[in-house]
Amino acid sequence: MNGLTEGQKRFFEDFGFLKLPGFLKNEIGWITEEFEAVFRDRKTMHVGTQRSCIVPFIDQREKLCTLLDHPGLHAVLCDLLGDDFNYLAGDGNFYTGDTGWHPDGCHRRGLYLKAAFYLDELNAETGALRVIPCTHRLDAFEPSRVRTAGNCREHWGIEQREVPFVALDITPGDLVIFNHNLMHASVGGGKRRRMFTMNCGKHASTPEEIQDLEQYIAGHSRFWLDSSYSDVMKRTASPQRMRHLAQVLEHEKGLPELSAKARAGMAEPSRG
Ligand SMILES: O=C(O)CCC(=O)C(=O)O
């Protein structure tokens, strides 16, 4: 199965994001039905005043789990992260309103990315992802006020929507991939903006990379998870899929204890 061109790989490396128009256009019908089914099965009452979020998301249904086996997507992830990449779970969301400027990580080693599946037609003014290109490059952007663009009023006396950006307009079926370090936001989205993600990372090789991975896994405790993956994700895994789960399974032994602590101290699992 074809993956990315050398130019696309370099674009991702240099700018920190990549949009693949129409990448899943043949599958977007069933993907959208499955997305709705997850929230229906969970009886999630999305009232539109705050984000509703389910983690891990594709894990909730056997068919959605197969996105990790999707030949085209698999080829793209292998091209960006190597054949032994780690699947790191992800969230499914009804977003409400704006998302302020932030990165998803500050990784100095390894490579962590997010594949984002938006299920509604979106542009820059109606909730499409806005990114500040190149800000994943910590060597170039730290220390820099741009890495804390969420404080735009204080920094520059401007609003979130006025921060310079590139918008990744969406027709459902497009695929957006971005480096966790990249600054991103959205403005003007409705009260039921549908989006889910798959986080993935390079296989951790050095002790420092393994420490980073363990820290990432520990972060799943805020969602009250005893494992980063659902039973169905693990039970239905082919040897190829299992290769992308194995390192996390090996390093998540401390997660139940951390989640027990989180349950004791939080009123509900985190919404993001
Ligand atoms: O689409 C959005 O509003 C924000 C998405 C986002 O921040 C994320 O997935 O990390």
* CATH code: domain of residue 193: 2.60.120.620
Domain annotation covers residue 61:
yes
Calculate the alpha carbon distances from 50 to 37, 96, 134, 207, 267 in Å.
20, 6, 30, 39, 15
Domain annotation covers residue 233:
no
Q: Which tops the pLDDT comparison, 199 or 2?
A: 199
Q: Is the pLDDT of residue 142 over 90?
A: no
Report pLDDT for 141: 83
Q: Which domain does 195 fall in, by range? A: 6-204
Distance of CA 230 from the midpoint of ligand 1 (Å): 23
**Mean pLDDT across the chain:** 97
Q: From CA 232, how far away is CA 14, in angstroms rounded?
A: 37
Q: Which tops the pLDDT comparison, 45 or 162?
A: 162
Tally of domains in the chain: 1
State how far Cα 127 lies from the chain centre.
Answer: 16
**Which range, of 46-50, 89-93, 132-136, 240-244, averages the lowest pLDDT?**
46-50
Domain annotation covers residue 36:
yes
Report pLDDT for 265: 94
Domain annotation covers residue 243:
no
**Percent of the chain with pLDDT strictly greater than 70:** 100
Report pLDDT for 90: 98
Q: Is the pLDDT of residue 1 over 90?
A: no
Tokens of 15: 């700018």
The amino acid sitting at 261 is K
Q: From CA 259, how far away is CA 272, in angstroms rounded?
A: 15
C-alpha closest to that of 176 among 216, 119, 217: 119
Domain annotation covers residue 88:
yes
Q: Residue range 196-213: average pLDDT?
A: 98
Q: Residue range 125-144: average pLDDT?
A: 94
Report pLDDT for 4: 98
Q: Ligand 1 atom closest to Cα of 98?
A: 3
Per DSSP, the three-state class of 196 is: strand
CB count within 10 Å of CB 12 equals 21
Domain annotation covers residue 222:
no
Q: Is the pLDDT of residue 179 over 90?
A: yes
Report pLDDT for 85: 98
Distance of CA 225 from the midpoint of ligand 1 (Å): 21
| pLDDT bracket for residue 186 (50, 70, 90) | very high
Distance of CA 239 from the midpoint of ligand 1 (Å): 31
Q: From CA 117, how far away is CA 12, in angstroms rounded?
A: 17
Distance of CA 207 from the midpoint of ligand 1 (Å): 30
Report pLDDT for 143: 80
Which residue owns the Cα nearest ligand 1 atom 10? 104
Rg (CA), the chain: 18
115 and 200 Cβ atoms separated by less than 8 Å:
yes
Report pLDDT for 53: 94
Domain annotation covers residue 224:
no
Q: Ligand 1 atom closest to Cα of 116?
A: 9
Q: From CA 91, how far away is CA 32, in angstroms rounded?
A: 15
201 and 110 Cβ atoms separated by less than 8 Å:
yes
Which residues does ligand 1 sit against, CB inside 6 Å?
95, 99, 104, 114, 116, 129, 184, 186, 195, 197
Report pLDDT for 58: 98
Q: Ligand 1 atom closest to Cα of 114?
A: 9
Q: Residue range 55-78: average pLDDT?
A: 98
Report pLDDT for 243: 98
Distance of CA 59 from the midpoint of ligand 1 (Å): 19
Report pLDDT for 212: 98
Domain annotation covers residue 251:
no
